[in-house]
Amino acid sequence: MKLLLGGLLMLNSNFALTTDVFEIVSLKFKDEVKFDEQKKLMSDLSGIILKFDGIKSREYFYSPENGRWIDFVVWSDVKLAKKASEAVMNDASAGTVFMKIDEKTMIFSHYEKVGGVKK
């Protein structure tokens, strides 16, 4: 997982400003949620998240090897990122998605760029 997270940050480092905040969420859906539904739910989240101030981009990735998703969101600053994190919990459409996520598998954090390397 460290390699994937490092790769994600490197992919976006060309566009990252020092004030940008990276929201990285790692999760699995509940066992009964089929992959096609998972893809739709992840897509649905894009429309919800785009409503919030400060969002710059969102990408999400799936690992068939372990059934885990990585949700990678770039925010203009940490204050707006945290405000959106709180507000999304009150969004009914987001709640529909969140109900299908296995909460025990979820890792959610905000990160600031500290360094990197390019070739």
pLDDT band at 13; cut points 50, 70, 90: very low
- Would you say the pTM of this structure is higher than 0.75? yes
Question: Could you tell me how far CA 38 lies from the centroid of its own chain?
Answer: 14
Q: What is the pLDDT of residue 51?
A: 94
35-70 confidence digits (pLDDT tens): 999 999 999 999 999 999 999 999 999 999 999 999
Complete domains list, the chain, with CATH: 2-112 (3.30.70.100)
Percent of the chain with pLDDT over 70: 85
Q: Which residue has the tokens 């598998």?
A: 105
Query: How many Cβ atoms from other residues are within 10 Å of residue 4's Cβ?
Result: 15
Nearest by Cα to 110 from 27, 46, 45, 21? 21
3-state DSSP call for residue 113? coil
The tens digit of pLDDT for each residue in 61-104 reads 999 999 999 999 999 999 999 999 999 999 999 999 999 999 99
Residue 12 has pLDDT above 90, yes or no: no
